[in-house]
């Protein structure tokens, strides 16, 4: 009995040692897996993860709608050409105007073309990304917005990509073409600061117009028939920023600077690029305030969208 009891601990120790050897060859646990650690590191930044998912969903939905539209290639190409020609009519109006007058409020043809190109390019890009937001009221009335709410994707992304079509590229091509021609005709000393400001005003212009699209869509949660009023600000704002704002008088410039800050889309930066004085005599810091204005407007638009969505009570409410 004594010998048997003494042998048992030895057998037990051998079993423990074999377990230790086998544990060295075991796979790492799920918590120790490197891929899982990457997911954990992503989860530590939920805001960044949501933005990543929103961009990924937008690209997926836009690609799907593009494949659908490309089944009718002739229709897409004709619509793109039609949009290109429609924008070309606005350019033709400017050309006819300058056959009668050498300058428009102190701006030459190339300078007005610069304003037109920056405004048209920024609006066309934002229209391509967020132009379908004008149909939020229609989606509320026909009940399709409720269908989008139950899908595992952000509502803003779904509405923005609903009916996405490459036909809007016509407006972008037109705007970029006019901007390139006007830049070639401008007689200004091109410094790195001016070049950087031109790129910045395009990006900020897209942001400002996108904020207007999102805010207008949020307003339709309260007033479903507000699409016309929304278009007055988006399409009307694009038209107003295609010309020197000094033609609207001092009151008009104050309105477009402080109430509806479309002057920061291209007017204020263009005054620095073209070397023009500000008719309102505003400080020179206003020429470089476009990034701040775009960030503030996008933040306010996001808050308005969340507020509208939070108070949405489904169809018929």
Q: What is the DSSP string of 121-165?
A: HHHHHHHHHHGGGGGHHHHHHHTHHHHHHTSSS-HHHHHHHTT--
Residue 16 lies in a domain: no
118 within 8 A of 179, measured Cβ to Cβ? yes
Residue 2 lies in a domain: no
Residue 231 lies in a domain: yes
Residue 1 lies in a domain: no
170 within 8 A of 82, measured Cβ to Cβ? yes
Token digits of residue 74: 């002739």
Predicted local distance difference test score (pLDDT) of residue 20: 47
Residue 38 lies in a domain: yes
Supply the Cα-derived Rg of the chain in whole angstroms: 29
- Quick one: which of 90, 89, 64, 91 has its CA closest to 166? 64
234 within 8 A of 310, measured Cβ to Cβ? no
Predicted local distance difference test score (pLDDT) of residue 115: 94
Which range marks the domain in which residue 48 is found? 31-310
pLDDT < 50 positions in the chain: 1-43, 317
Predicted local distance difference test score (pLDDT) of residue 194: 94
Residue 25 lies in a domain: no
Residue 13 lies in a domain: no
Residue 15 lies in a domain: no
131 within 8 A of 214, measured Cβ to Cβ? no
Query: What is the number of structural domains in the chain?
Result: 1
């Amino acid at each position: 009995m004594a010998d048997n009891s003494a042998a048992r601990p030895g057998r037990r120790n051998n079993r423990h040692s074999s377990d230790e050897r086998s544990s060295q060859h075991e796979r790492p646990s799920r918590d120790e897996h490197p891929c899982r650690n990457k997911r954990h590191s992503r989860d530590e930044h939920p805001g960044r993860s949501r933005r990543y998912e929103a961009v990924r969903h937008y690209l997926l939905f836009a690609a799907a709608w593009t494949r659908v539209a490309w089944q009718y290639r002739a229709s897409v190409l004709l619509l793109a050409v039609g949009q290109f020609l429609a924008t070309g009519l606005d350019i033709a109006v400017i050309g006819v105007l300058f056959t009668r007058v050498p300058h428009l409020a102190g701006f030459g043809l190339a300078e007005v073309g610069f304003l037109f190109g920056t405004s048209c390019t920024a609006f066309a890009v934002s229209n391509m990304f967020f132009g379908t937001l004008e149909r939020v009221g229609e989606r509320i009335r026909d009940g399709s917005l409720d269908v989008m709410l139950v899908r595992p994707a952000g509502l803003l992304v779904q509405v923005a990509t609903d009916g996405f079509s490459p036909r809007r590229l016509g407006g972008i091509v037109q705007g970029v073409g006019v901007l390139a021609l006007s830049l070639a005709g401008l007689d200004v000393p091109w410094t790195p600061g001016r070049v950087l400001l031109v790129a910045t005003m395009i990006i900020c212009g897209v942001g400002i117009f996108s904020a207007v699209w999102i805010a207008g869509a949020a307003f339709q949660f309260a007033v479903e028939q507000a699409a016309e009023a929304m278009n007055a600000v988006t399409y009307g704002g694009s038209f107003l920023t295609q010309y020197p704002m000094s033609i609207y008088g001092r009151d008009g410039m104050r309105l477009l600077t402080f109430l509806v800050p479309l002057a920061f889309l291209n007017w204020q930066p263009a005054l620095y690029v073209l070397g023009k004085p500000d008719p309102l005599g505003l400080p020179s810091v206003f020429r470089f305030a476009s990034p701040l204005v775009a960030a503030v407007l996008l933040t306010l638009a996001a808050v308005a969208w969340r507020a509208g969505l939070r108070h949405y009570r489904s169809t018929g409410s």
